[in-house]
Amino acid sequence: MMLNMIKNYSKPKQAQRGAAAVEFAIIALLLFTLLFGIIEFGRLFYLYNSVQEVTRHAAREAVVRWVDNSSTSPAKVLALFGGASLPAGAEITADNIDIEYLTESGAVPSPFPTSASDNISACLTGPTGCIALVRVSIVNAYYVPMVGLFPFLAVPIPASTVTMPAESLGYTG
Protein backbone atom coordinates (compact mmCIF):
# COMPACT_ATOMS: atom_id res chain seq x y z
CA MET A 1 0.00 0.00 0.00
CA MET A 2 2.79 2.40 0.83
CA LEU A 3 4.34 1.65 -2.53
CA ASN A 4 1.10 2.59 -4.36
CA MET A 5 0.96 5.93 -2.55
CA ILE A 6 4.51 6.72 -3.57
CA LYS A 7 3.72 5.89 -7.20
CA ASN A 8 0.59 8.08 -7.15
CA TYR A 9 2.50 11.09 -5.81
CA SER A 10 5.24 10.81 -8.39
CA LYS A 11 2.94 10.76 -11.43
CA PRO A 12 1.50 14.30 -11.09
CA LYS A 13 5.01 15.72 -10.75
CA GLN A 14 6.07 14.10 -14.00
CA ALA A 15 2.95 15.43 -15.75
CA GLN A 16 3.78 18.98 -14.55
CA ARG A 17 7.32 18.93 -15.96
CA GLY A 18 7.98 22.19 -17.89
CA ALA A 19 4.88 24.00 -16.60
CA ALA A 20 6.98 26.41 -14.55
CA ALA A 21 9.06 27.31 -17.62
CA VAL A 22 5.93 28.03 -19.66
CA GLU A 23 4.43 30.13 -16.87
CA PHE A 24 7.69 32.05 -16.51
CA ALA A 25 7.84 32.68 -20.27
CA ILE A 26 4.34 34.16 -20.27
CA ILE A 27 4.98 36.33 -17.21
CA ALA A 28 8.47 37.35 -18.43
CA LEU A 29 7.04 38.51 -21.75
CA LEU A 30 4.60 40.81 -19.95
CA LEU A 31 7.22 41.92 -17.44
CA PHE A 32 9.84 42.83 -20.06
CA THR A 33 7.28 44.60 -22.26
CA LEU A 34 6.25 46.70 -19.26
CA LEU A 35 9.90 47.32 -18.30
CA PHE A 36 10.92 48.44 -21.81
CA GLY A 37 7.78 50.58 -22.04
CA ILE A 38 8.72 52.38 -18.83
CA ILE A 39 12.26 52.93 -20.12
CA GLU A 40 11.00 54.31 -23.46
CA PHE A 41 8.50 56.68 -21.86
CA GLY A 42 11.18 57.86 -19.45
CA ARG A 43 13.53 58.59 -22.36
CA LEU A 44 10.73 60.35 -24.24
CA PHE A 45 10.07 62.65 -21.27
CA TYR A 46 13.82 63.22 -20.88
CA LEU A 47 14.03 64.39 -24.51
CA TYR A 48 10.99 66.63 -24.17
CA ASN A 49 12.53 68.31 -21.12
CA SER A 50 16.07 68.45 -22.49
CA VAL A 51 15.06 70.24 -25.70
CA GLN A 52 14.29 73.42 -23.78
CA GLU A 53 17.61 73.26 -21.94
CA VAL A 54 19.54 72.71 -25.18
CA THR A 55 17.95 75.75 -26.85
CA ARG A 56 18.49 77.91 -23.77
CA HIS A 57 22.13 76.86 -23.51
CA ALA A 58 22.77 77.40 -27.25
CA ALA A 59 21.13 80.84 -27.11
CA ARG A 60 23.27 81.83 -24.13
CA GLU A 61 26.43 80.79 -25.98
CA ALA A 62 25.32 82.55 -29.16
CA VAL A 63 24.76 85.91 -27.44
CA VAL A 64 28.26 86.02 -25.93
CA ARG A 65 30.31 84.69 -28.86
CA TRP A 66 30.30 85.12 -32.62
CA VAL A 67 29.12 81.84 -34.13
CA ASP A 68 27.93 80.57 -37.45
CA ASN A 69 25.12 78.14 -38.14
CA SER A 70 27.38 75.21 -39.08
CA SER A 71 27.14 71.88 -37.27
CA THR A 72 30.57 72.49 -35.70
CA SER A 73 29.58 75.83 -34.21
CA PRO A 74 30.88 76.18 -30.63
CA ALA A 75 27.44 77.22 -29.39
CA LYS A 76 25.88 74.05 -30.80
CA VAL A 77 28.59 71.76 -29.44
CA LEU A 78 28.38 73.34 -25.99
CA ALA A 79 24.57 73.18 -26.06
CA LEU A 80 24.86 69.43 -26.60
CA PHE A 81 27.14 69.21 -23.55
CA GLY A 82 30.29 68.82 -25.65
CA GLY A 83 29.10 65.94 -27.81
CA ALA A 84 27.84 65.41 -31.33
CA SER A 85 24.38 64.64 -29.99
CA LEU A 86 22.44 64.92 -26.76
CA PRO A 87 23.53 62.28 -24.20
CA ALA A 88 20.97 59.43 -24.19
CA GLY A 89 19.15 61.27 -26.97
CA ALA A 90 20.83 60.66 -30.32
CA GLU A 91 17.79 62.23 -31.99
CA ILE A 92 18.99 65.74 -31.08
CA THR A 93 22.14 66.70 -32.99
CA ALA A 94 23.79 69.96 -34.01
CA ASP A 95 21.87 69.80 -37.29
CA ASN A 96 18.62 70.18 -35.32
CA ILE A 97 19.78 73.42 -33.68
CA ASP A 98 18.98 76.53 -35.72
CA ILE A 99 20.62 79.83 -34.70
CA GLU A 100 19.22 83.08 -36.12
CA TYR A 101 20.51 86.62 -35.62
CA LEU A 102 17.75 89.23 -35.79
CA THR A 103 17.20 92.97 -35.53
CA GLU A 104 14.91 94.45 -32.85
CA SER A 105 11.97 94.12 -35.23
CA GLY A 106 12.66 90.39 -35.74
CA ALA A 107 14.04 90.69 -39.27
CA VAL A 108 17.38 89.43 -40.53
CA PRO A 109 19.92 92.29 -40.44
CA SER A 110 20.67 93.84 -43.81
CA PRO A 111 23.52 94.01 -44.54
CA PHE A 112 24.48 91.15 -42.25
CA PRO A 113 27.51 91.95 -40.07
CA THR A 114 30.54 89.76 -40.75
CA SER A 115 31.99 89.99 -37.24
CA ALA A 116 31.21 91.23 -33.75
CA SER A 117 33.04 94.51 -34.36
CA ASP A 118 31.01 95.07 -37.56
CA ASN A 119 27.87 94.53 -35.50
CA ILE A 120 28.96 97.18 -32.99
CA SER A 121 29.53 99.62 -35.86
CA ALA A 122 26.15 98.75 -37.38
CA CYS A 123 24.42 99.28 -34.03
CA LEU A 124 26.02 102.72 -33.70
CA THR A 125 24.88 103.82 -37.18
CA GLY A 126 21.32 102.50 -37.17
CA PRO A 127 19.04 99.58 -36.31
CA THR A 128 18.74 98.04 -39.80
CA GLY A 129 22.04 96.15 -39.79
CA CYS A 130 22.35 95.70 -36.04
CA ILE A 131 21.95 92.27 -34.43
CA ALA A 132 19.77 92.85 -31.37
CA LEU A 133 18.31 89.39 -30.79
CA VAL A 134 19.44 85.80 -31.05
CA ARG A 135 16.79 83.15 -31.65
CA VAL A 136 17.65 79.47 -31.26
CA SER A 137 15.25 76.69 -32.23
CA ILE A 138 15.21 72.92 -32.27
CA VAL A 139 13.76 71.85 -35.61
CA ASN A 140 13.02 68.57 -37.39
CA ALA A 141 13.67 66.35 -34.36
CA TYR A 142 11.85 63.04 -34.03
CA TYR A 143 11.83 60.64 -31.11
CA VAL A 144 12.87 57.15 -32.22
CA PRO A 145 12.37 54.30 -29.74
CA MET A 146 15.46 52.29 -28.82
CA VAL A 147 13.41 49.10 -28.62
CA GLY A 148 11.63 47.97 -31.77
CA LEU A 149 8.57 46.89 -29.77
CA PHE A 150 7.17 50.42 -29.76
CA PRO A 151 7.24 51.78 -33.35
CA PHE A 152 4.08 53.83 -32.65
CA LEU A 153 6.19 56.04 -30.36
CA ALA A 154 8.16 57.53 -33.28
CA VAL A 155 6.74 61.00 -32.77
CA PRO A 156 8.00 64.49 -33.58
CA ILE A 157 9.61 66.32 -30.69
CA PRO A 158 7.88 69.68 -30.21
CA ALA A 159 9.85 72.61 -31.53
CA SER A 160 11.49 74.68 -28.85
CA THR A 161 12.50 78.30 -29.37
CA VAL A 162 14.44 80.66 -27.12
CA THR A 163 15.02 84.32 -27.98
CA MET A 164 17.58 86.36 -26.05
CA PRO A 165 18.91 89.90 -26.45
CA ALA A 166 22.32 89.99 -28.05
CA GLU A 167 25.21 90.88 -25.82
CA SER A 168 28.84 91.15 -26.92
CA LEU A 169 28.64 88.46 -29.62
CA GLY A 170 32.32 87.89 -28.90
CA TYR A 171 33.46 91.50 -29.25
CA THR A 172 36.77 91.96 -27.43
CA GLY A 173 37.38 95.58 -28.33
Q: How confident is the model at residue 28 (pLDDT cuts 50, 70, 90)?
A: very high
Residue 70's identity, in one-letter code, is S
Residue 171 falls within a domain, yes or no? no
Query: What is the tens place of the pLDDT at every residue in 94-126?
Result: 899 999 999 888 888 888 888 888 888 888 887
Residue 131 falls within a domain, yes or no? yes
Torsions phi, psi for 62 (to 5 deg)? -70, -25
Torsions phi, psi for 31 (to 5 deg)? -65, -45
Residue 1 falls within a domain, yes or no? no
Residue 11 falls within a domain, yes or no? no
Predicted pLDDT of residue 171: 72
Predicted pLDDT of residue 121: 85
Predicted pLDDT of residue 164: 92
Query: 25 or 110: which carries more pLDDT confidence?
Result: 25
Q: Which pTM does this prediction carry?
A: 0.75
Residue 49's identity, in one-letter code, is N
Q: How confident is the model at residue 31 (pLDDT cuts 50, 70, 90)?
A: very high
Residue 117 falls within a domain, yes or no? yes
Domain count within the chain: 1
Predicted pLDDT of residue 109: 85
Section 3-12 average pLDDT:
54
Decide if 49 contacts 156 (C-beta within 8 A). no
Q: How confident is the model at residue 27 (pLDDT cuts 50, 70, 90)?
A: very high
Residue 117 domain boundaries: 20-165
Three-state secondary structure call for residue 29: helix
Residue 109 falls within a domain, yes or no? yes
Query: How many CB atoms neighbour CB 59 within 10 A?
Result: 22
